[in-house]
Amino acid sequence: MAVLLIGTLDTKAAEIGYIRDRLLAAGVPVLVADAGVLGAPAFPPDVPRQELFAAAGRRFEELRTAQDRGQAVNAAAAGAAKLALRLHQEGRLAGVLGVGGSAGTTIATAAMRAVPVGVPKVMVSTLASGDVRPYVGTRDLMMLYSVVDLAGLNRISRVVLDNAAAAMAGMVQHTLSTSPRLQRRGQASQWDTGHGTEDKPLITATMFGVTTPCVDAARRIVEIAGYEVLVFHATGTGGRTMEGLVRDGFVSGVLDLTTTELADELVGGVMAAGPDRLTAAALAGVPQVLSVGAVDMVNFGPPDTVPECFQGRRFHAHNATVTLMRTTPEENDRIGQQIAEKACASNSPTAILLPLQGVSALDREGGPFWWPEADAALFQSIRNWAYGVELIELDLHINDPAFAAAAAQKVLEMVQTRS
């Protein structure tokens, strides 16, 4: 197994060569992949640029002739992703390390996002101090700020590159010695770390601060039954990350009790998870229990960041940096339709649980978001659109222990029936 070191050998050869030598000195095998397209590589790579572009179905000569840097970067990113995935599937990938500016970061992180959680990933980038969401995505990717531009070696860049090599070497050597691997469902183990979680199937759950009592109680019941529960904060990235694991085949069941990201996607909040939210389990054939946790709210930042078009709406200051806005009956009607339609599209066992006394800690009698008409619109919409899906209505609040127990027992029933 080797670390795949990705960079452009026409512009970043000194840095790539330096970090390669540091890894080799630490006893870590390295495969250098050249993603350059303009000048000649400063030293021979293990994976030539022609091979990298061919993996993306492109010819290097055509890209060089076109002189379109954006097109070349996109092709290199696609090729790097396919290369990394192939090496991983062949059991030859120990980790992925990248060095670069905007182009190098785009290329190397595409490879990192292509391989599963648990594979060591380090990106030394001039962009690491800014918004790194497009590069990290939903993977366990470490971004290390280069501090200075990557334009030759100096007393600062050497220190940063040394640290990157040491971090990668440490992760690789730890991984090889303990062999922790996240396995797809149906394989021998789910996550073998020597901490008592071997052979436990994975159940995922979604949680928000205002649904924590529900999810914590459900999690304990599922864990007692012999499962390991991964809880995801429903902040947009959290929902996407959970569904990525479901699509990758690691998950045996889903407790999607906090579907608040749908409200942000519909209304324009800052914690949307995209239009594909609530589709992964349906497409992967994974049993799922759905509920309507925290769909009574849309998330914004501090009060002065709330768009003017929402003036006059009902707000609640969650803290100094999070402002919550209550969803309306009309919005809840549309959210309910989305939940029902996506549930109906599933080819796996699916149930929707409705807490008729409130969907969040704020949505209870006397609470700041208590609005029975809005909740009624949500529930009725789900009733209207949920065909062929088990619909369970409970005269409980979502954070009542009995509701959590019902959700936990339902997902256990589904998963155990499929086993």
Same domain for 212 and 351: yes
CB neighbourhood size of 164 (10 A): 23
Is residue 108, in this structure, part of any structural domain at all? Answer: yes
Does residue 86 sit in the same domain as residue 213? no
Q: 141 vs 64, which has greater pLDDT?
A: 141
- Identity of the residue numbered 367: G
Q: Does residue 58 form part of some domain?
A: yes
User: Is 197 domain-assigned?
Assistant: no
| 365 and 412 fall within a common domain | yes
Does residue 231 register a pLDDT over 90? yes
pLDDT of 194 reads 43
Instruction: Please check whether residues 148 and 211 belong to one and the same domain.
Output: no
Please indicate, yes or no, if residue 366 is contained in any of the structural domains: yes
Question: How confident is the model at residue 337, as a pLDDT?
Answer: 97
Residue 378 lies in a domain: yes
Beta-carbon contacts of 131 under 8 Å, excluding residues fewer than 6 positions away, are none
188 domain-assigned: no
Task: Please state the pTM of the whole predicted model.
Answer: 0.76
- Residue 20: what pLDDT? 95
Residues 291 and 377 in one domain: yes
Check whether 178 has a pLDDT greater than 60: no
Average pLDDT value for residue range 24-36: 93
70 pLDDT more than 80? no
Do 127 and 213 fall within a single domain? Answer: no
In the chain, the percentage of residues whose pLDDT exceeds 70 is: 94
Least confidently predicted of 7-21, 178-192, 281-295, 391-405: 178-192
pLDDT digits (tens, 9 = 90+) for 390-410: 999 999 999 999 999 999 999
Q: What is the mean pLDDT of residues 305-334?
A: 94
Q: Which residue has the higher pLDDT, 335 or 417?
A: 335
Residue 226 has pLDDT above 80, yes or no: yes
- What confidence score (pLDDT) does residue 185 get? 54
CATH of the domain at 334: 3.40.50.12030
Residue at a domain's end among 121, 144, 178: 178
Domain of residue 11: give its range. Answer: 2-178
Judged against a pLDDT cut of 50, whether residue 192 lies above it is answered with no
Residue 92 pLDDT > 60: yes
- Domain shared by 260 and 173, yes or no: no
Residue ending a domain, among 178, 193, 226, is 178
- Quick check: is 184 in a domain? no
pLDDT in tens, 278-308: 999 999 999 999 999 999 999 999 999 999 9
Say yes or no: 117 and 210 in one domain. no
Segment 16-40 shows an average pLDDT of 92
Q: Predicted confidence band at 319 (pLDDT cuts at 50, 70, 90)?
A: confident
Same structural domain, 169 and 272: no
Q: Which residue would you say has higher pLDDT here, 42 or 168?
A: 168
pLDDT category at 191 given cuts 50, 70, 90 is very low
Give the C-alpha distances (Å, rounded to integers) separating 217 from 182, 220, 363, 405.
25, 5, 19, 7
Residue 102: predicted pLDDT: 86
Query: Do the Cβ atoms of 306 and 350 come closer than 8 Å?
Result: no
Annotate the chain with three-state secondary structure: CEEEEEECCCCCHHHHHHHHHHHHHCCCCEEEEECCCCCCCCCCCCECHHHHHHHCCCCHHHHHHHCCHHHHHHHHHHHHHHHHHHHHHCCCEEEEEEEECHHHHHHHHHHHHHCCCCCCEEEEECCCCCCCHHHHCCCCCEEEECCCCCCCCCHHHHHHHHHHHHHHHHHHHHHHHHCCCECCCCCCCCECCCCCCCCCCEEEEEECHHHHHHHHHHHHHHHHCCCEEEEEECCCHHHHHHHHHHHCCCCCEEEECCCCHHHHHHHCCCCCCCCCCCCHHHHHCCCEEECCCCCCEEEECCHHHCCHHHCCCCEEEEECCEEEEECCHHHHHHHHHHHHHHHHCCCCCEEEEEECCCCCCCCCCCCCCCCHHHHHHHHHHHHHHCCCCEEEEECCCCCCHHHHHHHHHHHHHHHHHHC
Q: Do 161 and 92 belong to one domain?
A: yes
In a domain, 187, yes or no: no
Q: 53 and 14, same structural domain?
A: yes
User: What local confidence, expressed as pLDDT, does residue 237 receive?
Assistant: 87
Same domain, 164 and 231: no
CATH of the domain at 79: 3.40.50.12020
| Local confidence band at 184 (pLDDT 50, 70, 90 cut-offs) | low
Domain count, the chain: 2
